[in-house]
Amino acid sequence: MMGGTNLSDPKAAEEFARKLARQRGWRSVRSMGKGRFDVDYAVTDELTHDFTFPVIEGFAQASPFVQVIRHTDNTVRINAPAFSSGADVSPLCNLARMGATDDSTKEKGAAKPPKLPLLDGAFVVTTDGAVLANNTEEGPQVGMAGSVLTWTVPARRRPARRPR
């Protein structure tokens, strides 16, 4: 269950996708079944306030995937906890785990944990400001509109944990 919504139910998943698609930035949201979604999210704007992703209408704010915090000296700090190397504590992993352990997907007497969906994507920031520090793999790259920072989430599965 996610926010009281059973995303393994195809009708509920489609409704959830429609709800996201109504919000600014969600360019494409497609249910792939079993609580999985193919999402294209992008916003381009001048940063005039703090930013957190995701914000989903009707859902309590959980651990953010990305936070952008403006400072009074016109600098910005970007935290991307979902893209950290500690994937086990990543909000992306926690969100996937929530969907994977939905009551409707549990098998009675199942000895092994449910499979987590593949996580595959990228978060890209383009800025005309100076990059003072970052934790991307490649560091800032030169782009047409300024420095480009890219954080990626590789498509991979965590090894299944052995039952005790």
Q: What is the pLDDT of residues 69-85, one digit of tens each?
A: 998 988 888 887 776 65
Q: pLDDT band for position 124 (50/70/90)?
A: confident
For residue 56, what are the domain limits?
Answer: 10-105+115-153
Residue 1 inside a domain? The answer is: no
Residue 87 inside a domain? The answer is: yes
Q: What is the pLDDT of residues 14-48, one digit of tens each?
A: 999 999 999 999 999 999 888 888 889 988 888 89
Residue 162 inside a domain? The answer is: no
Q: What gap in Å lies between CA 40 and CA 28, rounded to an integer?
A: 5
Residue 110 inside a domain? The answer is: no
What's the structural domain count of the chain? 1
Q: What gap in Å lies between CA 55 and CA 104, rounded to an integer?
A: 25
Residue 92 inside a domain? The answer is: yes
Q: What gap in Å lies between CA 86 and CA 93, rounded to an integer?
A: 10
